[in-house]
Amino acid sequence: MVPNRQTLMKNFQNKTKIIKVSRQLRAVARLAICLWVLGIGTFLLALSAGLREGGNARTIYLASGGLMEMGLAIVVSLNFFRFFDRLTSGELFDGKTVGYLYAAGRWWLVYWLFDLGLAVAGNGWLGMKMDYSFGQLFASLTVIFVAWLLKEAQELQVEQSLTV
């Protein structure tokens, strides 16, 4: 079945819209990476000042946990940046592009697990009041689900193209 001219034009317009929005989201992801890197620098300065004043176990615990969380946040943001970068360059939903989205979701899940572990350990061992939420869990599982859905759609498209 050969697509008609209207269908081809609509597909081109949709691709153009995806590329335009992806360009803007890529800029947001780049900004997030820059902010996390600046956050790490600021955090290290504050940590060194705290340790010079005689840091205790809480300071070291929070510092190591905070640095690890910021590192994981950079990895998540970097995978989102790569995903939107590939969309911007016209690589719409191929295996590598969807792989970056899937990797972002998995790293986000690891980030949430680490955050949860840090809060539970801080509450239990150090007697600190640390909050945790399930919002990041829901968001990471949603990103993983969307990546899985796109992967399945690719496989369906390949099967349909082989049967025609």
pLDDT tens per residue, range 22-44: 899 999 999 999 999 998 888 88
Q: Worst-scoring range by mean pLDDT, 21-35, 54-68, 78-92?
A: 54-68
pLDDT value at 153 more than 90: no
Q: Are the C-beta atoms of 98 and 87 separated by less than 8 Å?
A: no
Q: What is the pLDDT of residue 9?
A: 57
Q: How confident is the model at residue 81 (pLDDT cuts 50, 70, 90)?
A: very high
What amino acid is encoded at 138 in this protein? F
Q: Could you give the angle at the alpha carbon of 108 between the alpha carbons of 142 and 25, nearest 5°?
A: 75
Q: What is the mean pLDDT of residues 117-131?
A: 71
**What is the average per-residue pLDDT within 120-136?**
74
